[in-house]
């Protein structure tokens, strides 16, 4: 129901109860009333845009961008305009962290929001102290809040002022940006359409579309190259494309650009420097699986990447699939493929039960190819140069290239394109300029927040798929965070668990309650390791998706590999 009063309720006679007398009829209509002014504002804001359910999140962004918050009146008006119940709109809006909902009766929020990242790398570089300083320093009209990872771990601490992201932020630079009203994203130079075509871009796609290059030849190269999904799951790309082709049409394609794993920022680099290499790979994938529509989901913390894609997609020649650019809204869980699909459909990002799998029943119930940004970025190079080129790279018995997002206590953080299988010691010394002055290598996260933590003594493990699992870790999206002897391992594990507690979608009890209980237990001076171990096992065994299943990896690794942390604390107690 739309949220307006059902007039039939108004005519129902009040019932009588013996001894109570006749019950008084309602003096006001049942249900939330829509304010005419709010309805007019929403109608004008949406303009000629379709009112389809899958565009609900996009429409919520329009309201947030215009008014810097979303009032209860605007939520009700949006529900009316889209012919949805208020509950449907409210539950979706409140699920996503970037929608600032002002409930009925509450005062309006300040127009400017400053978000201070408090994920692990930023916390290591003083973001908690910076948050407190800014909260005491800003004037009226500005609010300062904590935020999870914003994808700028190589420039920690990172702060968002409006939609302008400040690198290596200090209180002085943040206050200066506020004073200057510098709140819009800044776009650097990148390879545009003309330059990309001049360098041979889209020749492969055109040959494929013309029939000069067969679909089977593309799939064979991908099979032989061993390219795997680089978003974290590592599923063989060629096999995935064949699986989708094997399902009856029509088929769709979805691109996962929601790299919300703390420590990960490689997709941002590729989207903001060479977007057409990614777009060509996307269009090749769509052609292979015969998808008529492509949905690209980009995290909200990447406004520059989104603006670049909007501009460059408009420059593509006609004749290809329809490309829809969709904007995330601050939900780490939407990096999980089925949650991504739910969000693309305009709903809360709750993971789906499997089977059926997305390649069978995906977006809007159709077979769907889902690939990560970086996976698609490499398609052109691998096909044009051949799988022998791709396989010529690698170390320690591994093959291919990997984009390692490196942050923490290294001298030169950033995205490091290195041979797959490089060890952490090789990565630090050869690609990152060594450790920062005054820091000694102590520990590292090989695969982001959920990939576990290993001690410096285990520095000879190839960083690739299948090499870390026996140690209770995994490579994931190759987000490497380096810690020194000055960092507290227990505090690092607690920081990561708090992130998972915040980002749990709440659908299943093992994850929702498990992460909360873990945080409570980890805040105590002395950890009950037996109880934490039992809790971790329950989360791994019974959670619906990878968030809950992997959330305890840093915790269990710290208990396993850093016993001195507990002996020191216990002795002090």
What confidence score (pLDDT) does residue 565 get? 80
Q: With cut-offs at 50, 70 and 90, classify the pLDDT of residue 245.
A: very high
Q: With cut-offs at 50, 70 and 90, classify the pLDDT of residue 568.
A: low
Hey, what are 52's tokens? Answer: 């389809």
From residue 540, give the alpha-carbon distance in Å to each of 370, 533, 534. 25, 11, 10
Q: How far apart are CA 102 and CA 31, in angstroms?
A: 19
Q: How far apart are CA 28 and CA 20, in angstroms?
A: 22
Q: Which residue has the tokens 């949905």?
A: 295
* 253-260: average pLDDT: 96
Q: With cut-offs at 50, 70 and 90, classify the pLDDT of residue 8.
A: very low
Residue 313, SS3 per DSSP: helix
What confidence score (pLDDT) does residue 516 get? 98
Burial class of residue 213 (count of CB atoms within 10 Å of its CB; 0-12, 13-18, 19+): middle
pLDDT in tens, 150-191: 999 999 999 999 999 999 999 999 999 999 999 999 998 999
Residue 110 has pLDDT above 50, yes or no: yes
Report CA 11 to chain centroid distance, whole Å.
49
Give the residue among 110, 120, 383, 122 at the shortest CA–CA distance from 238. 383
Across 163-275, the runs of DSSP E, i.e. the strands, are: 164-166, 251-257
From residue 532, give the alpha-carbon distance in Å to each of 340, 488, 529. 30, 19, 5
pLDDT in tens, 537-560: 999 999 999 999 999 999 999 999
From residue 120, give the alpha-carbon distance in Å to each of 6, 117, 319, 468, 497. 51, 9, 45, 21, 10
What confidence score (pLDDT) does residue 13 get? 38
Give the residue among 483, 535, 465, 496 at the shortest CA–CA distance from 332. 496
Residue 150, SS3 per DSSP: coil
Residue 403 near residue 422 (C-beta atoms within 8 A): no
Residue 290, SS3 per DSSP: coil
pLDDT in tens, 448-483: 999 999 999 999 999 999 999 999 999 999 999 999
Measured distance between the N- and C-terminal CA atoms of the chain, rounded to whole angstroms: 59
Residue 29 has pLDDT above 50, yes or no: no
Residue 443, SS3 per DSSP: strand
What confidence score (pLDDT) does residue 31 get? 58
Q: How far apart are CA 410 and CA 440, in angstroms?
A: 10
pLDDT in tens, 375-387: 999 999 999 999 9
Q: With cut-offs at 50, 70 and 90, classify the pLDDT of residue 232.
A: confident
Residue 62 near residue 69 (C-beta atoms within 8 A): no
What confidence score (pLDDT) does residue 567 get? 60
Backbone angles phi and psi of 194, in degrees to 5:
-60, -45
Residue 571 has pLDDT above 50, yes or no: no
What confidence score (pLDDT) does residue 564 get? 84
Residue 547 near residue 476 (C-beta atoms within 8 A): no
Q: With cut-offs at 50, 70 and 90, classify the pLDDT of residue 1.
A: very low
Residue 275 has pLDDT above 70, yes or no: yes
């Amino acid at each position: 129901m739309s949220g307006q009063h059902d007039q039939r309720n108004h005519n129902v006679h009040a019932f009588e109860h013996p001894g109570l007398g006749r019950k008084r009829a309602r003096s006001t209509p049942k249900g939330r009333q829509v304010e005419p002014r709010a309805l007019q504002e929403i109608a004008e804001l949406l303009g000629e845009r379709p009112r389809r359910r899958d565009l609900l999140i996009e429409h919520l962004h329009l309201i947030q961008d215009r008014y810097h918050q979303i009032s209860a009146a605007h939520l009700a008006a949006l529900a009316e305009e889209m012919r949805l119940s208020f509950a449907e709109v409210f539950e979706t809006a409140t699920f996503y962290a970037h929608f600032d909902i002002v409930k009925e009766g509450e005062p309006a929020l300040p127009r400017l929001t400053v978000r201070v990242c408090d994920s692990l790398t930023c916390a290591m570089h003083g973001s908690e102290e910076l948050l407190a300083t800014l909260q005491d320093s800003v004037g009226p009209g500005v609010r300062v809040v904590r935020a999870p990872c914003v994808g700028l771990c190589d420039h920690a601490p990172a702060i968002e002022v409006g939609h302008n992201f400040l690198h290596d932020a200090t209180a002085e630079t943040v206050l200066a940006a506020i004073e200057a009203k510098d709140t819009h994203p800044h776009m650097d130079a990148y390879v545009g359409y003309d330059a990309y075509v001049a360098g041979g871009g889209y020749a492969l796609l055109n040959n494929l579309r013309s029939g000069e290059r067969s679909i089977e030849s593309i799939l064979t190269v991908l099979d032989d190259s061993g390219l795997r999904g680089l978003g974290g799951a590592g599923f063989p790309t060629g096999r995935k494309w064949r699986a989708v082709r094997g399902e009856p049409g029509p088929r769709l394609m979805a691109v996962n650009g929601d790299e919300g794993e703390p420590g990960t920022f490689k997709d941002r680099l590729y989207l903001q420097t060479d977007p057409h290499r990614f777009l060509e790979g996307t269009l090749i994938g769509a052609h292979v699986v015969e998808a008529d529509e492509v949905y690209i989901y980009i995290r909200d913390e990447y406004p520059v990447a989104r603006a670049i894609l909007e501009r460059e997609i408009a420059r593509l020649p006609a004749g290809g699939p329809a490309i829809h650019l969709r904007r995330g809204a601050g939900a780490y869980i939407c990096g999980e493929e089925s949650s991504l699909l739910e969000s693309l459909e305009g709903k809360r990002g709750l993971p789906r039960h499997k089977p059926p799998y997305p390649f069978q029943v995906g977006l809007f119930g159709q077979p769907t190819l889902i690939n990560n940004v970086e996976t698609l970025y490499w398609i052109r190079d691998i096909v044009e140069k051949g799988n022998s080129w791709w396989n010529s790279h690698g170390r320690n018995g591994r093959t291919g290239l990997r984009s390692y997002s490196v942050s923490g206590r290294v001298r030169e953080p950033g995205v490091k394109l290195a041979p797959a299988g490089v060890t952490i010691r090789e990565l630090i010394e050869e690609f990152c300029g060594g450790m920062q002055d005054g820091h000694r290598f102590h520990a590292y996260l090989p695969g982001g927040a959920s990939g576990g933590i290993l001690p410096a003594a285990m520095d000879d493990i190839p960083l690739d798929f299948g090499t870390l699992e026996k140690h209770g870790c995994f490579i994931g999206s190759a987000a490497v965070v380096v810690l020194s002897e000055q960092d507290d391992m227990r505090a690092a594990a607690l920081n990561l668990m708090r992130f998972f507690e915040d980002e749990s979608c709440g659908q299943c009890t093992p994850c929702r309650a498990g992460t909360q209980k873990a945080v409570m237990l980890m805040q105590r001076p002395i950890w009950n390791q037996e109880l934490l171990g039992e809790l971790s096992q329950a989360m791994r065994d019974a959670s619906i998706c990878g968030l809950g299943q992997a959330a305890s990896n840093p915790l269990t690794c710290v208990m396993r590999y850093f016993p001195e942390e507990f002996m020191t604390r216990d002795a002090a107690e």
